[in-house]
Amino acid sequence: MPGDTVVHICAASLRINYMKIENFIFNRLPKRVNRSNVFS
């Protein structure tokens, strides 16, 4: 159904944006911080 396609596209874009934000935040943290501890 067309509605499902729209939902999937929105979910995919949200996931990509979240990954970008996560990477941006992680890159600003001290390198000694363990990523698994921050984003568990």
Residue 26 · residue 38 · CB < 8 Å:
yes
In this predicted structure, the answer to whether residue 33 has a pLDDT above a threshold of 70 is no
Give the domain range for residue 11: 2-38
Q: pLDDT band at residue 35, thresholds of 50, 70 and 90?
A: low
CA distances (Å), 3 to each of 11, 12, 14, 17, 18, in order?
Answer: 12, 14, 17, 21, 22
Cα–Cα distance measured from residue 27 to residue 29, given in angstroms and rounded to the nearest whole number: 6
Number of domains in the chain: 1
For residue range 5-32, list pLDDT tens digits in order.
999 999 999 999 999 999 998 888 777 6
For residue 19, the model assigns a pLDDT of 94
